[in-house]
Amino acid sequence: MSKSETNELELRAVPQDLHRIDSNIQLDELNYKLPRSKVKAVMNGDAAAGTFALHSNKIPLVLVACGSYSPVTYLHLRMFEMARDHVVEHGEFELLGAYFSPVSSGYKKAGLAYYKHRVRMCQLAVEESEFIDVDPWEAFQTETQRTAIVLRIRIKLVAGGDLIQSFASYEVRNGEKIPVWLPSDLDIILGKFGCFIIERTGSDVHDFLLSHQSLYNHRKRVHVVKQFIYNDISSTKVRLFIKRKMSIRYLLPDSVIAYISRKRLYMVDEPSGRTDGPFDDDDIIQKSLEADEKLEDKFIEVVNMDPYEVEETNRLEALRHQAMNDD
Ligand SMILES: Nc1ncnc2c1ncn2[C@@H]1O[C@H](COP(=O)(O)OP(=O)(O)OP(=O)(O)O)[C@@H](O)[C@H]1O
Ligand SMILES: NC(=O)c1ccc[n+]([C@@H]2O[C@H](COP(=O)(O)O)[C@@H](O)[C@H]2O)c1
């Protein structure tokens, strides 16, 4: 397939709908709404040469960062800014948009706040960004979703060095070693989609790249992003500071801090490891959310267009832009 054909395929697949190009991944997308207000609908192309969307020689790119975000911090926001700088510097891709994808409450991790709080905190954090948004699909699932499933359209994962190191981790269940990441999932995440790894202090990404077989096999699709200003803000420490009544100002956006304080998140440890015990009760969740806009209202409905209709829409959009530029 030529590069321009790939571009058309990807452009069609990414911003216009959730038409998947990977038929191996099954998802119930019928009722799914992807926020699309920030994602670019048309690529810039090479304006100087008068070419647009479908003629751009860059590969359209949407980034997704999976994680707990309990709570989201400036480091997490910086991950996308660093990845964008890397993309601009290397010129291969054109970044159309970026999404935080918070894990669902089914992910049993200590300190994980109720999923609606984490989605809301991420939404507050990205309010000022023109390209970062929140994809709540994963958070709204009752079961934890494997990251390969989350990356269902042609998008690349953005992850910190520590998360990448978990690619080699095992859990022992009934005396059996179970890999935390299925090798077949790693082939999808790294081989099919590709990945941006943000260097993290204390973890030697390059060394790990060399030693991990799957990462090494797919090294051409793995981009290591240098942190020119090291930032090591950790959600775990933010939670600890809150418990110890220490200041968390300038570690995360003020809007997120105000939300945490309004909802009294992370104040005490719960035996279950969750820090927002009272919100387990559905009635209380409802009451606690009354003051906020309903999350669902913020999501734009995904139009499940037929591929030909999508192609025609893209063509018209490109012509419209060209006409506007001709004027
Ligand atoms: N200091 C850091 N440098 C680079 N990436 C980071 C750093 N901290 C977190 N990340 C990345 O941010 C993403 C989301 O992180 P997540 O919220 O799951 O973990 P965390 O911030 O380490 O939180 P916790 O402290 O609760 O484990 C992951 O890809 C993780 O690797
Ligand atoms: N098998 C998998 O797909 C797999 C395994 C471990 C973590 N993850 C993801 O990595 C992210 C970060 O996890 P931790 O917060 O545990 O580092 C989460 O979004 C989680 O869903 C996915």
**Residues sharing a CB contact under 8 Å with residue 304, sequence separation 6 or more, in sequence order:** 17, 18, 19, 29, 30
Residue of 324, 272, 280, 238 whose CA lies nearest to 42: 324
Give the dihedral sign, CA 118/121/126/127. Answer: positive
Q: Is 166 in the pocket of ligand 1 (CB under 6 A)?
A: no
**How far does residue 166's CA lie from ligand 2's centre (Å)?**
8
Ligand lying nearest the CA atom of residue 106:
2
Which is the closest atom of ligand 1 to the Cα of 73? 21
Which is the closest atom of ligand 2 to the Cα of 103? 19
**Residue 298: which region, alpha, beta or left (left: phi > 0; alpha: psi -120 to 50)?**
alpha
Ligand lying nearest the CA atom of residue 167:
2
Q: Convert the pLDDT of each residue in 59-86 to its tens digit.
A: 889 999 999 999 999 999 999 999 999 9
Residue of 155, 212, 145, 157 whose CA lies nearest to 183: 212
**How far does residue 67's CA lie from ligand 1's centre (Å)?**
7
Q: Is 60 in the pocket of ligand 1 (CB under 6 A)?
A: no
* Torsion angles phi and psi, residue 121, rounded to 5: -65, -40
Residue of 279, 200, 201, 276 whose CA lies nearest to 242: 276
**How far does residue 274's CA lie from ligand 1's centre (Å)?**
18
Per-residue pLDDT in tens (0 to 9) along the chain, 327 residues: 334 333 332 332 333 333 322 333 333 544 666 788 898 877 775 554 444 445 567 888 999 999 999 999 999 999 999 999 999 999 889 999 999 999 999 998 899 999 999 999 999 999 999 999 999 989 988 888 888 888 765 688 999 998 998 999 988 888 998 999 999 999 989 988 889 999 987 778 888 889 999 999 999 999 999 888 989 999 999 999 999 999 999 999 999 999 999 888 998 775 544 555 444 444 344 444 443 444 444 433 333 333 444 454 455 556 555 665 655
By three-state DSSP, how is residue 296 classified? helix
How many Cβ atoms sit within 10 Å of the Cβ of residue 65?
27
How many Cβ atoms sit within 10 Å of the Cβ of residue 179?
14
**How far does residue 66's CA lie from ligand 1's centre (Å)?**
9
In this structure, which residue's CA is closest to atom 3 in ligand 2? 146
The answer to whether the beta carbons of residues 268 and 122 sit under 8 Å apart is: no
Ligand lying nearest the CA atom of residue 103:
2
How many Cβ atoms sit within 10 Å of the Cβ of residue 36?
19
Q: Is 147 in the pocket of ligand 2 (CB under 6 A)?
A: yes
Strands (E), 10-58: none
The answer to whether the beta carbons of residues 95 and 84 sit under 8 Å apart is: yes
Which is the closest atom of ligand 2 to the Cα of 146? 3
Testing ligand 2's pocket by substitution, the residue of 69, 101, 105, 107 carrying the most ligand atoms inside 8 A of its CB is: 107
Ligand lying nearest the CA atom of residue 150:
2
Global pTM reads 0.75
The answer to whether the beta carbons of residues 209 and 216 sit under 8 Å apart is: yes
By three-state DSSP, how is residue 50 classified? coil
The answer to whether the beta carbons of residues 147 and 157 sit under 8 Å apart is: yes
pLDDT at 32: 67
Q: Convert the pLDDT of each residue in 212-232 to its tens digit.
A: 999 999 999 999 998 889 899
In this structure, which residue's CA is closest to atom 7 in ligand 1? 160
pLDDT at 192: 85
Q: What is the CA radius of gyration of the chain?
A: 20
User: Which of 78-81's residues contact partners 24+ apart within 8 Å by CB, and which partners?
Assistant: 78/231, 79/158, 79/160, 79/198, 80/129, 80/131, 80/132, 80/158
